[in-house]
Structure 1
Amino acid sequence: MRISVTTWSLEQTSPADLRPAAPASGDVTIARAGIPSPEFSRFLYTAVGGDVLWTDRLGMTYAEWEEVLSRPGAETWVAYEKGTPAGYAEIEAQDEGSVEIVYFGLIPAFRGRGIGGHLLSYAVARAWDLAERRPGLAPTKRVWLHTCSKDGPHAMDNYLRRGFTLFDTTVEEEPLTVTPGPWPGSRP
């Protein structure tokens, strides 16, 4: 079975474009995963993306995960509620001062509680100041991301409310692939 998937690409071209969300209520913290960990990153990827059909990294080997996470300018920022991982943002420096928010999302149990806007605001701010933490990188001139029709129903609205603007839309057919979540059978 094949499905039609619309992909929207969005960007900010100035730190002034960022419109931060209010901080999340409760005991929510955000911290950088300071040690690249394929196990932890794969857990986040499958826990966040399982119900929205993320598939592009499912076939990656341990070494491939390690390579991606160890690239200069790659960072993973994790939101925690009461010490439990709630979601994450993976950012990566690219050519000419561009930084991509490669992955962003929340584990389903943490959606709809104000954590997503807070985490996205934090991740975008970290994309804008990435060169300050990573000597040798060009200063950020652009932060961009893509979202698609498979993502959660509030994803696009969150990006727009944070100050992103649309710069490209594509539609492609792709095979429908059921994803298992963090382990087979974990999807409700």
Structure 2
Amino acid sequence: MRAEPVVTAVTTWYLEQTSPEALRPAAGPDAAEGLSVVRAERTYPAFNRFLYTAVGGDWSWTDRLPWTHRQWDEYLGRDGTETWVAWVRGTPAGYVELSPSGPGEVEIAYFGLVAAFHGRGIGSRLLAEGLARAWDLADRWPALGPTRRVWVHTCSLDGPAALRTYRSRGMEVYDVRTADEEVRPAPGPWPGARGE
């Protein structure tokens, strides 16, 4: 049985970087410890949906669950949309998704880790790589022009380290909003994972 949504106050923080010099490097595991961050050069809906549910299932990421295969395909096929995946010894540990959102602007549309990889510094390394790739997006997509701003939003439903991680990589809060929203309980990484 699917749990009914609950109305709750959700705080959303909007953060940005307006210069690549604002990016702060991250400590944490590297290739010698089995970590690599690699662009998924050939994206496809099933893989991105897997990443979305594996990472977001614990944090009420439900907005894309009803998307059809075609919607995923169209979204992933947009110029400049990129998926960068953190791999630890051959296992996908998390991802950062870049999405152009206007002239010179790149949104970090999604970012996070699979729960088994929390607390190891992997998220900081992945985010630093994602931000660096947002700043040089025009190298791979020249028609987009140079990046002048990278932005993201996170909310009180996301992981407890999200806001701190964004700020520690040099992103600055430029807006905060709180509103009542209908929220479904976090579904877990797949329907029924929580025994519902």
Per the TM superposition, whether the score is higher than 0.5 is yes
Q: Which residue of 2 aligns with 1:126?
A: 133
- Determine if the alignment matches structure 1 residue 76 to structure 2 residue 83: yes
Q: Give the match's secondary structure for 1:90.
A: strand
Q: Which residue of 1 aligns with 2:3?
A: none
Q: Which residue of 1 aligns with 2:7?
A: 2
1:37 to 44, 49, 63: 44
TM-score of the two chains, using structure 2 as the length reference: 0.92
- Determine if the alignment matches structure 1 residue 19 to structure 2 residue 34: no
Extract unaligned runs of 5+ from structure 2: 1-5
Structure 1 CA distance for aligned equivalents of residues 22 and 51 of structure 2: 28
* Seq. identity, %: 55
TM-score of the two chains, using structure 1 as the length reference: 0.96
Extract unaligned runs of 5+ from structure 1: none
Contact 1:9/1:167 (8 A) holds in 2:
yes
Structure 2 CA distance for aligned equivalents of residues 65 and 44 of structure 1: 13
Deviations 1:107-127 (CA, angstroms, capped at 9, x unpaired): 011011110000000000000
Moved segments of 4+, more than 3 Å: none
**1:94 to partner: Cα distance:** 2.4
Structure 1 CA distance for aligned equivalents of residues 151 and 145 of structure 2: 16
Contact 1:50/1:187 (8 A) holds in 2:
no
Q: Which residue of 1 aligns with 2:117?
A: 110
Return the letter of the residue paired with 2:75: V
Q: Give the match's secondary structure for 2:73.
A: helix
**1:23 to partner: Cα distance:** 4.2
Contact 1:3/1:173 (8 A) holds in 2:
yes
Coordinate RMSD, CA, aligned: 1.3
* Number of aligned residues: 188
